[in-house]
Chain A
Amino acid sequence: MSVLDSKIPDGPLKDKWTNHKNKIDLVNPANKRNIDIIVVGTGLAGGSAAASLAEMGYNVKSFCYQDSPRRAHSIAAQGGINAAKNYQNDGDSVYRLFYDTVKGGDYRSREANVHRLAEVSGNIIDQCVAQGVPFGRDYGGLLDNRSFGGVLVSRTFYAKGQTGQQLLLGAYSALNRQIAKGKVTMYNRHEMVELVKVNGKARGIIARNLETGELERHSAHAVVIASGGYGNVFFLSTNAMGSNATAAWKIHKKGAHFANPCYTQIHPTCIPRSGEHQSKLTLMSESLRNDGRIWVPKNIDDVLAIREGTLSPTDLSEDQRDYYLERRYPAFGNLVPRDIASRAAKEICDAGYGVNSTGEAVYLDFSSAIQRYGKQEAAIARLQNPSESDILKLGEGVIESKYGNLFQMYEKIVAEDPYKKPMMIYPAVHYTMGGVWVDYNLMTSVEGCYCIGEANFSDHGANRLGASALMQGLADGYFVLPYTIGNYLSNEIRTGKISTEAAEFVAAEKEVSDRIEKLMNIKGTKSVDHFHKLLGKAMWEYVGMTRNEKGLKKAMAEIKKIRTDFWSDVKIPGDRNSLNRELEKAGRVADFLELGELFAKDALHRNESCGGHFREESVELDGLQKGEAKRNDTDYAYVAAWEYKGEPADAVMHKEELEFNDIELKQRSYK
């Protein structure tokens, strides 16, 4: 086991980034024209990075698997983006945003990175507004904010329930501007399937043209991976169907360490599954917890009557309801962080109080908020003695203006009106805090290979606070990587064009081609989805919301077995030289089947509970915190970065000890 060098600059926390930026080597504009950069991914991280790097003068090649960069999964983000602007004058500051994020991450993130993130957060909002991103505004024309879980200030900027869409379209427009100028060459419907290294440095990729099946070699002086998270290792998640770990996993296999794979976020408010046909789960934004109250019936008979359809939740009076988050966590109530809200929902459903036919659902109820807003609006409109129906109408209007699209989404999926009847929700896999290990400059352990956005591990520790992934993606892409990459590229000005005829490119292409051939030739009996679903089941059961030693060992063995079966029995119809969705899926699932095992191995070694990682063996035994997660800072205050050694079970761990100089490590309490 070796120690990793995170290259955190010296000096006081608040000066690190400024000092570091001042010392970064610059590349002269004439030389930038001779330097090529590949960016894999066009989400908030990749899109903003490609646009910024091109604007600085580098030649950028940008890749995405969708038919347009605008469709990257960031488009689906709903609730909002954090920034320490203190527009609401509620005492917010860079330090508070930094503090909340480190605490929210359960003290498992890198202090220096998080502080930098908080420092640039304000710039992001300025940048996006200048691009014409239509954030929500108040009647005075100024930007509005909402609150998210785990914090006590209002610092989240939003565009209704479509914040990710609007931010991504902003980045997409910046990208388009560079495409029009010829500084970015865009490769849509292209999937990166291999990293090419020459003399130890990342020098290019092999990409598959998803329309023609052709393998292409692309060279560059640096490769940036911005391919998003790996939540789909669970099969069912809130991620887009195509979200995958392939780019990240390929660089892992070429030497990039993979950090903390077991840190996954299970989001508390998603639409419950409806049956075996389920292909994905839909998030109902956390912002709903600003106005929605979570409850189940107090009385088990009422639960059963509701399941049978003989009782409606609206028939139950206040004292027949158990608002269990408000009861257990009076300080934060419905706004406790995600990991806590999710486990609480699981516990109450495990105890038999789930309100739908599967027993896996709790209510998220807006009736109090509708009443409150209705009365407020009636007063603003100077209505004398408003009727109950006036109040309802006005209140529903406010809720509609805040969350209209989410309510519509819910209604279309569940076929129930959430304005009239409380929503049913249940936790679902949502976000992966773990990812490719990077140093302070966002470089992976492969020289010249960078990783940004959800695909890396750095800023969220063991649990990400709401509205901070969008912030991180744009921070990395607009304001961090464009600077830090200079240090490396300033040494590349004499390298010259990199030939794709080099032996390394030829070999990498052959490796990919052989792998595809092997997959096509299995000609087994089961579809790719069959294996993906099996993997997902094993992951959810043993590596889901709560984990224990026995289950994790079982998961490792089971996943390995599924992998073996996959490689001998998968059936991929069609051919490799045309658009072939089954082949695309097969490549991704093959990687998930390896990642899943490493995931379980990481969870097994971390015998503590922190953030989204809950080990049944590590809970508080008494006192006010009885039953809550128990972190172990003495033994586990480090990043576990795994080195690839063939079989996932043989991966070797490298530790990055986490140092907290500016924050005192505390038990998280939201009571």
Chain B
Amino acid sequence: MDLTLKVWRQKNREEKGGLETYKVTGISEHASFLEMLDIMNEQLIKEGTEPVAFDYDCREGICGTCSLYINGEAHGPDRKVTTCQLHMRMFKDGETIYIEPWRSAAMPVIKDLIVDRSSFDRIQQSGGFVSVNTSGNTQDANALPIPKMNADLAFDAAACIGCGACVATCKNSSAMLFVAAKVSQFAYLPQGQVEAKQRVLNMVEQMDKEGFGNCTNTGACEVECPKSISIKYIAKMNREFLSASCSSES
């Protein structure tokens, strides 16, 4: 396939960026999207141009590093995949493809297509854990049976890879889906109960501090989420938050 690529280039955090046009030819439809970008970069290196910087690591949809906004969609046109799992068979020969970084005030661009997602880490640090010491003296793992349904719900929430597509896709740049996934994982498990109230209050507070927008329930995040995290978890978090704020006020 032959393609025209319109790629966002930006030198660093401070400088303004813009779209550049590059052409690639002879791309196999079996290549992944990032392999196509490898080929483009290989070409740029040959020409003596600095290659385009983009983020990736596992290239199998689990580390959450890759993060491209392709033709106006987070992680591109395919569903339930990350950018690294996207394959060229989703595109047509001769197509023009727009490639941009995530856009959100809470996730500023560092260079080209790479953004700073440390706000996500800080939200997790504010409460995304169970305060148990790593002493080796915890009770036997099977001492506390957990209904399979709750364990499964917790697991589905825990599958979030922290990629930020939900934020990138939301017109308000809200991080609700990401935060709700973590809050819900613990809310469905007995281990998470002790700190449940403080957790949800702290995490929501940190989310607001980071400058993420409000959730207006458009549901766009769920559609673009590569791990199909459901917005029912946002409802769950809202309930947790309400009950926590009520009881902390009384």
Please give the residue numbers on chain A whose beta carbons come within 8 Å of chain B beta carbons, in ascending order. Answer: 48, 51-52, 55, 66-71, 73, 75-76, 85, 87, 120, 123, 125-132, 134-143, 159-160, 162, 164-166, 169, 172-174, 176-177, 179-180, 186, 188, 211, 240-242, 274-275, 277-280, 282-283, 408-409, 412-413, 415, 478-479, 482, 527, 529, 571, 573-574, 578-579, 581-582
How many whole Å from B27's CB to the nearest CB in chain A? 8
Point out the residues of chain A lying under 8 angstroms from B158, CB to CB: 134, 159, 166, 169
Point out the residues of chain B lying under 8 angstroms from A211, CB to CB: 110-111
Report Cα–Cα, A651/B151, bound state, in Å. Answer: 52
How many whole Å from B24's CB to the nearest CB in chain A? 11
| Identity of the chain A residue whose Cβ is nearest the Cβ of B132 in the assembled complex | A130
Structural contact, A76 and B146, CB atoms closer than 8 A: no
Stretch at the interface among B98-106, B135-143, B167-175, B242-250: B135-143
With A66-B65, A415-B87 known to touch, is A130 a contact of B118 (CB < 8 Å)? Answer: no
Structural contact, B129 and A240, CB atoms closer than 8 A: no
Point out the residues of chain B lying under 8 angstroms from A275, CB to CB: 28, 30-31
With A132-B186, A141-B145, A141-B148 known to touch, is A67 a contact of B117 (CB < 8 Å)? Answer: yes
Instruction: Label chain B's interface by main secondary structure.
Output: loop
How many whole Å from A425's CB to the nearest CB in chain B? 15
| Identity of the chain B residue whose Cβ is nearest the Cβ of A74 in the assembled complex | B63
Structural contact, B89 and A70, CB atoms closer than 8 A: no
24 contacts between A and B (CB under 8 A): A48-B134, A68-B117, A68-B162, A71-B65, A71-B162, A85-B142, A126-B141, A131-B191, A132-B130, A134-B154, A134-B189, A135-B141, A137-B146, A159-B155, A162-B62, A174-B134, A177-B125, A177-B131, A179-B125, A186-B121, A280-B59, A412-B81, A412-B87, A482-B134
Structural contact, A126 and B162, CB atoms closer than 8 A: no
How many whole Å from A358's CB to the nearest CB in chain B? 12
Point out the residues of chain A lying under 8 angstroms from B152, CB to CB: 134
Point out the residues of chain B lying under 8 angstroms from A126, CB to CB: 136, 138-141
**B192 interface residue (CB < 8 Å to A):** yes
Point out the residues of chain B lying under 8 angstroms from A581, CB to CB: 51, 53
How many whole Å from A364's CB to the nearest CB in chain B? 17
Structural contact, B126 and A180, CB atoms closer than 8 A: yes
Structural contact, B124 and A172, CB atoms closer than 8 A: yes
How many whole Å from B30's CB to the nearest CB in chain A? 4
Contact of B35 among A130, A132, A179, A277 (CB under 8 A): A277
Structural contact, B136 and A240, CB atoms closer than 8 A: no
How many whole Å from A77's CB to the nearest CB in chain B? 9
| Identity of the chain B residue whose Cβ is nearest the Cβ of A71 in the assembled complex | B63
Contact of A180 among B45, B55, B125 (CB under 8 A): B125
**B12 interface residue (CB < 8 Å to A):** yes
With A412-B85, A581-B51 known to touch, is A70 a contact of B111 (CB < 8 Å)? Answer: no
Structural contact, A67 and B55, CB atoms closer than 8 A: yes
Structural contact, A241 and B59, CB atoms closer than 8 A: yes
With A241-B57, A274-B28 known to touch, is A130 a contact of B51 (CB < 8 Å)? Answer: no
Structural contact, A73 and B57, CB atoms closer than 8 A: yes
Return the 8 tightest CB-CB contacts between A and B, nearest first: A141-B145, A173-B129, A134-B155, A130-B138, A129-B141, A134-B154, A277-B31, A71-B63
* Chain A proximity mask over B157-168: 1 for CB below 8 Å, otherwise 0: 011011000000
Given A130-B191, A240-B63, A275-B31, 13 more A-B residue pairs with CB atoms under 8 Å apart are A66-B63, A126-B136, A132-B154, A134-B155, A134-B158, A139-B148, A176-B129, A179-B125, A211-B111, A240-B57, A275-B28, A277-B30, A282-B60
Contact of A529 among B38, B118, B126 (CB under 8 A): B38
With A68-B120, A131-B129, A478-B134 known to touch, is A141 a contact of B146 (CB < 8 Å)? Answer: yes
**B218 interface residue (CB < 8 Å to A):** no
Structural contact, B58 and A75, CB atoms closer than 8 A: yes
Point out the residues of chain B lying under 8 angstroms from A408, CB to CB: 80
| Identity of the chain B residue whose Cβ is nearest the Cβ of A161 in the assembled complex | B62
Point out the residues of chain A lying under 8 angstroms from B51, CB to CB: 573-574, 581-582
Please give the residue numbers on chain B whose beta carbons come within 8 Å of chain A beta carbons, in ascending order. Answer: 11-12, 27-28, 30-32, 34-36, 38-39, 42, 44-46, 48-51, 53, 55-65, 78, 80-81, 85, 87, 89, 110-111, 114, 116-118, 120-121, 124-126, 128-134, 136, 138-142, 144-148, 151-152, 154-155, 158-159, 161-162, 185-186, 189, 191-192
| Identity of the chain A residue whose Cβ is nearest the Cβ of B111 in the assembled complex | A579
Interface centre among A55, A73, A280 (most CB of B within 10 A): A280
| Identity of the chain B residue whose Cβ is nearest the Cβ of A414 in the assembled complex | B30
Structural contact, B64 and A278, CB atoms closer than 8 A: no
Structural contact, A274 and B142, CB atoms closer than 8 A: no
How many whole Å from B229's CB to the nearest CB in chain A? 13
Report Cα–Cα, A136/B154, bound state, in Å. Answer: 11
Number of A-B contacts (CB under 8 A): 220
How many whole Å from B51's CB to the nearest CB in chain A? 6
Interface centre among A52, A173, A408, A482 (most CB of B within 10 A): A173
Report Cα–Cα, A188/B39, bound state, in Å. Answer: 28
Point out the residues of chain B lying under 8 angstroms from A415, CB to CB: 30, 87, 89
How many whole Å from A69's CB to the nearest CB in chain B? 8
Report Cα–Cα, A280/B38, bound state, in Å. Answer: 12
Interface centre among A130, A160, A172, A278 (most CB of B within 10 A): A130
Structural contact, B34 and A71, CB atoms closer than 8 A: no
Structural contact, B121 and A132, CB atoms closer than 8 A: no
Report Cα–Cα, A630/B9, bound state, in Å. Answer: 57
Report Cα–Cα, A283/B61, bound state, in Å. Answer: 12
Point out the residues of chain B lying under 8 angstroms from A127, CB to CB: 132, 134, 136, 138
Structural contact, B57 and A140, CB atoms closer than 8 A: no
Point out the residues of chain B lying under 8 angstroms from A180, CB to CB: 125-126
How many whole Å from A90's CB to the nearest CB in chain B? 15
With A75-B58, A173-B128, A579-B110 known to touch, is A188 a contact of B118 (CB < 8 Å)? Answer: yes
Structural contact, A277 and B39, CB atoms closer than 8 A: yes
Interface centre among B58, B189, B191 (most CB of A within 10 A): B58
Structural contact, B125 and A578, CB atoms closer than 8 A: no
How many whole Å from A109's CB to the nearest CB in chain B? 23
Contact of B148 among A67, A128, A131, A137 (CB under 8 A): A137
Report Cα–Cα, A125/B136, bound state, in Å. Answer: 10
With A67-B116, A131-B191 known to touch, is A412 a contact of B78 (CB < 8 Å)? Answer: yes
Report Cα–Cα, A81/B144, bound state, in Å. Answer: 20
Structural contact, A574 and B50, CB atoms closer than 8 A: yes
Interface centre among B44, B117, B148, B189 (most CB of A within 10 A): B148
Structural contact, B61 and A409, CB atoms closer than 8 A: yes
Structural contact, A409 and B186, CB atoms closer than 8 A: no
Point out the residues of chain A lying under 8 angstroms from B45, CB to CB: 527, 571, 573, 582
Point out the residues of chain B lying under 8 angstroms from A132, CB to CB: 130, 154, 185-186, 189, 191-192
Structural contact, A140 and B155, CB atoms closer than 8 A: no
Structural contact, B60 and A409, CB atoms closer than 8 A: yes
Point out the residues of chain B lying under 8 angstroms from A242, CB to CB: 57
Report Cα–Cα, A578/B12, bound state, in Å. Answer: 8
Structural contact, B57 and A55, CB atoms closer than 8 A: no
With A71-B63, A140-B145 known to touch, is A409 a contact of B128 (CB < 8 Å)? Answer: no
How many whole Å from B106's CB to the nearest CB in chain A? 14
Report Cα–Cα, A408/B57, bound state, in Å. Answer: 19
Report Cα–Cα, A335/B117, bound state, in Å. Answer: 42
Point out the residues of chain A lying under 8 angstroms from B56, CB to CB: 241
Report Cα–Cα, A242/B54, bound state, in Å. Answer: 13
Interface centre among A140, A186, A240 (most CB of B within 10 A): A240
Report Cα–Cα, A282/B61, bound state, in Å. Answer: 10
Structural contact, B58 and A73, CB atoms closer than 8 A: yes
Report Cα–Cα, A458/B1, bound state, in Å. Answer: 48
